[in-house]
Amino acid sequence: MTSHAIEVKNLYKIFGPRGEDYVDVVRNGMGKAELNEKHGHVLGLQDINISMPGGCITVVMGLSGSGKSTLIRHINRLIDPTAGEVLYDGVDVCKMNENDLRNFRRHKTAMVFQKFALLPHRTVLENTIYGLEIQGVERRESEKRALGWIERVGLKGFERHYPNQLSGGMQQRVGLARALTNNAEILLMDEAYSALDPLIRVDMQTVLLELQSELKKTVVFITHDLDEALRLGDKIAILRDGRVVQQGTGQEIVLSPADDYITAFVKEVNRGRVVHVETIMRPLSGSPEGLPIAADTVLEAAARTMTSAHLNTAHVVDANGRPIGSVDLQTIIGAMVMPASHHESKAA
Ligand SMILES: Nc1ncnc2c1ncn2[C@@H]1O[C@H](COP(=O)(O)OP(=O)(O)O)[C@@H](O)[C@H]1O
Ligand SMILES: [Mg+2]
């Protein structure tokens, strides 16, 4: 299996009739507000460099207007860049000819939208099959594929329903089934879950994570919600005013926020659900004690396991079950609350 990575390199988008003319002034430091005031152009994206590993979920997070949709739309070139590249398997999407681009969009990418974009006069099955119909796939084959995915997203029995007979969460499942039926390697999800009620939203996150553990798509998931980003993202890039202000794993971002802006964002995060025991373990001294706990277990889960086993000490094991460190309950609980250094640096 090849990597199917997406590399965004030195990407700029300046909206307006003469965007190219202003790339250099932006490179030389002119910000969004000044560009708008002085030159009447909108700085959409500025020097974006993100590598999105194949088979992983990369989350792009930021407040409204930070450039998230502009960025994701470059990946299937619904928007042309003002400067820079978007490489997929090493090929620049921005330089594809019309034919290659059409094939790339049709066969490699699928979009899942917030507003579902379902066709109201088509049933669940007909909506799911739509992409294959366009591709000219034979009816019997496309129906078989679609029915399989409809079942996988939990909609068995609803094949003949129309979108308006379904709840928001169920409509979003149809959107997902449709994307998966197209068998695209890249899933582009622009605030796909933002309109859903909180509980339904968590359900849909679970559906995505379960499917992803098996399918290993290259997913680009956009959200303005940090909890969602932390739950889904193998990697997270945070945008602000069209720039990447930090990128890394959720744990990296929560433990060492790059600036005050991100510190404010992550302040309320439940660290117990983000930080792995591996990060806080001590080196092993002597033989391993207590329960074995996998290195990537989050603190909250480790604490729960240890508490229910009435144990204060555990040892951390790597993917091969080899002991690599030890932890105790007190350290785990200490690490779940904000570290003292944080308060001190704020007070200073
Ligand atoms: N077609 C366009 N023309 C001019 N400005 C645009 C256009 N599309 C987006 N923008 C501007 O680019 C910035 C980023 O927008 P967008 O990518 O939609 O942000 P987000 O998805 O994070 O809410 C905003 O300031 C927006 O007003
Ligand atoms: Mg948007």
Q: Rounded CA gap, 46 and 43, in Å?
A: 7
Strand partners, 220: 58, 188
- Model confidence pLDDT, tens digit, residues 179-202: 999 889 999 999 999 989 999 999
> What structural domains does the chain harbor?
6-266 (3.40.50.300), 271-347 (3.90.1280.20)
Determine the pLDDT at residue 52.
97
**What pLDDT, on the 0 to 100 scale, is given for residue 202?**
93
Out of 8-22, 33-47, 265-279, 310-324, least confident range = 265-279
Cα 67 to middle of ligand 1, angstroms: 6
- Testing ligand 1's pocket by substitution, the residue of 8, 15, 26, 243 carrying the most ligand atoms inside 8 A of its CB is 15
Region 234-254: mean pLDDT is 95
- State the distance from the centre of ligand 1 to the C-alpha of 45, rounded, in angstroms: 9
Q: Once rounded to an integer, what is the mean pLDDT over residues 154-168? A: 95
Please give the average per-residue pLDDT across 158-187, as a whole number.
94
Cα 30 to ligand 1 centroid, rounded to whole Å: 18
User: Are residues 312 and 306 in contact, defined by beta-carbon separation less than 8 angstroms?
Assistant: yes
Q: How far is the CA of 68 from the centre of ligand 1 (A)?
A: 8
- Mean pLDDT in the chain? 92
Q: Identify the bridge partners of residue 11 per DSSP, sorted by sequence position.
A: 48
For residue 42, give the ligand 1 atom closest to its CA. Answer: 5
Residues touching ligand 1 (Cβ under 6 Å) are 15, 42, 44, 62, 64-70
Q: What is the predicted pLDDT for the residue at 230?
A: 93
pLDDT band at 117 (very low <50, low <70, confident <90, very high): confident
The predicted structure's pLDDT at residue 340 = 43
Residue 339 scores a pLDDT above 60: no
Nearest CA to ligand 1 atom 25: 65
Q: Which residue lies with its CA nearest to atom 1 of ligand 1? A: 15
Per residue in 289-324, pLDDT (tens digit) is 899 999 999 999 999 999 999 999 999 999 999 999
- In tens, the pLDDT along 218-238 reads 999 999 999 999 999 999 999
Ligand nearest to the CA of 61: 1
pLDDT for 338 equals: 59
> How far, in Å, is the centroid of ligand 2 from the Cα of 235?
19
Does 343 score more than 60 pLDDT?
Answer: no
The confidence score (pLDDT) of residue 344 equals 42
Q: Closest ligand to 46 CA?
A: 1
Is the pLDDT at 342 greater than 50, yes or no?
Answer: no
Banded model confidence at residue 25, pLDDT cuts 50, 70, 90: very high
Residue having the nearest C-alpha atom to atom 4 of ligand 1? 15
Look at residue 116 in the predicted model and tell me its pLDDT: 67
